[in-house]
């Protein structure tokens, strides 16, 4: 389904909101949101999150995991109006899953051979909990005291070199890396969470703002250092090699467009030569007509414009334009 402008309705919606600065009440914005929600691909995503939490978690990288689906829906719909009823079901269940620390849990199984208990249990890891909290913030639940508590608890895990591989007390597990190394993916999604919660004022106060600024500075430097030394180090096996440098959507895992997107949210990073080198590499993929193609795809999204490699992807083109807009703001 394409809009009148010949692009998918979700691209039109985000263009109006993020590039043109239209409000959710604007007539064109409302029409684009309605068309987005009516699209069968979006309807499928909404149906998926009503079954929250979905499949027992055994791979954070799997694009079919419901927590990734919910985050992508928040990327498409944030700021366009109230959450759809299907999303509300998932949000309520996430809040119900929270421990006393405010950190949401998911059902997961880590085998004994990987250092886990070998049985299904509700737990969290720093490669899933920030994404759940991000979806809550984007869909208007950021002022909930439980959400603020969770953000503070995860933020406090910061170290001088970024966020570590960390899991809830129920698990005795650590990823394949040195204990003192940062986890690049956990650092990436923590930065995105703090950017979103700071922008909406979810966890206010001068002390909270100062702590968040210090944490984001350390996290951004960690990712920039990974890029600068990508040929010699790959903490927790998160490499910045050939696959990392392929353009890919949506923002589910660890790739150059995702990392550049998150770093661009912080004005202090935008003039950093390491960040600009990433942006330059992304821009080098622009075709003669100004469009961008997906260079790697997630199988569950094969019906989307970024789920194939042969034709231009309006969504990836929009993501690059939004990134570029931040560089001149």
pLDDT one-digit tens code per residue, 316-329: 999 999 999 999 87
pLDDT tops 50 at residue 76: yes
pLDDT of residue 239: 92
pLDDT tops 50 at residue 3: no
Reported as a single tens digit per residue, the pLDDT across 91-143 is 999 999 998 889 999 988 766 655 555 677 888 999 999 999 999 999 999 99
Reported as a pLDDT band with limits 50, 70 and 90, residue 210 is low
What number of CA atoms fall less than 13 Å from residue 13's CA on the CB side?
Answer: 25
pLDDT tops 50 at residue 2: no
* Range with lowest mean pLDDT among 4-18, 64-78, 86-100: 4-18
The pLDDT of 212-225, averaged and rounded, is 94
Rg (CA), the chain: 19
Summary mean pLDDT of the chain: 91
Closest CA to 191 of 119, 253, 139, 134: 134
Give the angle 189-196-239 at the CA atoms, nearest 5°.
Answer: 20
Reported as a pLDDT band with limits 50, 70 and 90, residue 1 is very low
The pLDDT of 267-275, averaged and rounded, is 96
How crowded is residue 311: how many other Cβ atoms within 10 Å of its Cβ?
A: 10
User: What are the sequence ranges of the domains in the chain?
Assistant: 82-237, 241-329
The pLDDT of 171-177, averaged and rounded, is 71
The pLDDT of 231-254, averaged and rounded, is 93
Reported as a single tens digit per residue, the pLDDT across 150-171 is 999 999 999 999 999 999 887 7
The pTM assigned to this predicted structure is 0.93
Reported as a single tens digit per residue, the pLDDT across 188-203 is 999 999 999 986 666 6
pLDDT of residue 135: 98
Classify residue 64 as exposed, middle or buried by CB count within 10 Å of its CB (0-12, 13-18, 19+): middle
Q: Print the SS3 string covering the chain.
A: CCCCCCCCHHHHHHHHHHHCCCCCCCHHHHHHHHHHHHCHHHHHHHHHHCCCCCCCECCCCCCCCHHHHHHHHHHHHCCCCCCCHHHHHHHHHHHHCCCCCCCCCEEECCCHHHCCCCCCEEECECCCHHHHHHHHHHHHHCCCHHHHHHHHHHHCCCECCECCCCECCCCCCCCCCCCCCCCHHHHHHHHHHHHHHHHHCCCCCHHHHHHHHHHHHHHHHHHHHHHHCCCCCCHHHCCCCCCCCCCCCCCCCCCHHHHHHHHCCCHHHCCCHHHHHHHHHHHCCCCCCCCCCCCCCCHHHCCCCCCCCCCCCHHHHHHHHHHHHHHCC
254 within 8 A of 302, measured Cβ to Cβ: no
Q: Print the SS3 string covering 205-255.
A: CHHHHHHHHHHHHHHHHHHHHHHHCCCCCCHHHCCCCCCCCCCCCCCCCCC
């Amino acid at each position: 389904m394409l809009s009148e402008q010949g692009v998918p309705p979700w691209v039109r919606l985000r263009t109006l909101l993020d590039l043109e600065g239209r409000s959710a009440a604007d007539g064109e914005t409302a029409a684009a949101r309605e068309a987005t929600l009516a699209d069968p691909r979006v309807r499928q995503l909404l149906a998926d999150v009503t079954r929250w939490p979905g499949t027992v978690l055994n791979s954070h990288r799997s694009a079919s995991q419901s927590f990734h689906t919910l985050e992508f829906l928040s990327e498409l719909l944030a700021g366009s109006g109230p959450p759809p009823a299907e999303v509300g079901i998932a949000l309520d269940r996430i809040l119900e899953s929270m421990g006393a620390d405010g950190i949401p849990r998911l059902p997961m199984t880590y085998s004994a051979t990987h250092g886990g208990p070998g049985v299904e249990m509700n737990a969290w890891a720093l490669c899933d909990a920030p994404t759940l909290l991000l979806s809550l913030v984007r869909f208007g639940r950021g002022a909930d005291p439980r959400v603020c508590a969770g953000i503070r608890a995860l933020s406090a895990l910061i170290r001088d070199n970024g966020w570590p591989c960390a899991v809830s007390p129920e698990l005795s597990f650590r990823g394949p890396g040195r204990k003192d190394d940062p986890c690049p993916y956990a650092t990436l999604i923590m930065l995105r969470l703090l950017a979103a919660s700071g922008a909406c004022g979810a966890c206010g106060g001068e002390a909270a703002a100062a702590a968040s600024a210090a944490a984001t500075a350390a996290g951004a430097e960690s990712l920039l250092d990974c890029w600068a030394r990508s040929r010699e180090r790959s903490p927790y096996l998160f490499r910045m090699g050939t696959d990392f440098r392929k353009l890919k959507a949506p923002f589910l895992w660890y790739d150059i467009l995702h990392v550049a997107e998150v770093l661009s949210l912080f004005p202090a990073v935008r003039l950093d030569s390491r960040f600009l080198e990433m942006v330059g590499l992304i821009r080098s993929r622009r075709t003669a007509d100004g469009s961008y193609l997906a260079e790697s795809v997630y199988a569950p999204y094969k019906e989307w414009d970024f789920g194939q490699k042969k034709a231009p992807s309006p969504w990836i083109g929009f993501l690059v334009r939004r990134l570029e807009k931040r560089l001149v703001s």
